[in-house]
Amino acid sequence: MATTKQASGKKATRLLKILLLVLLLLAGIGWIFRAPISGYGELATAHAARNVCACRFVAGQSESVCEQNFVLGTPPVLLGEDEEERSVTAQFPPFASNTATYRDGYGCVLEPWDR
């Protein structure tokens, strides 16, 4: 019985070491590619915020219809809407966030980037 516990303990330790190694590898890859991922996030959130804002406040469509109108291949972004401000915020955590606001005469305009 003791050898079974020792064997399962060794398996658990080995599995934990492999999991830690995989996590470190993924963190390293994320660190190396952080600039392209961040840029991709900026582009994706700007595109999503602008298009959903136009769909909602220019075309007058419902939120669910606008979310379904995304082009295939668009990365998963989180959308938030402020109906009082007539704005849509798209987030690609933790890399990027963009907000588009409807302005009379201009349509939906992205807020300036802080770069």
pLDDT, one tens digit per residue, over 54-112 is 999 999 988 788 877 766 567 788 889 999 999 999 998 888 899 999 999 999 999 88
CB 53 within 8 A of CB 108: yes
Cβ neighbours of 29 (radius 10 Å): 10
Residue 42: both structure tokens together: 């900026």
pLDDT value at residue 94: 81
Q: Is 81 helix (H, G, I), strand (E, B) or coil?
A: strand
Q: Which of 60, 59, 58, 55 is nearest to 90 (CA)?
A: 55
Is pLDDT above 90 for 12?
no
For the chain, report the end-to-end CA distance as a whole number of angstroms: 63
Q: Which of 105, 78, 107 is nearest to 91 (CA)?
A: 78
Q: How far is CA 11 from the centre of its chain?
A: 36
Mean local confidence (pLDDT), 13-37: 89
Q: Tell me the one-letter amino acid at 18.
A: I
* Residue listed under structure tokens 């690609």: 92
Is pLDDT above 70 for 3?
no
CA R_g for the chain? 22
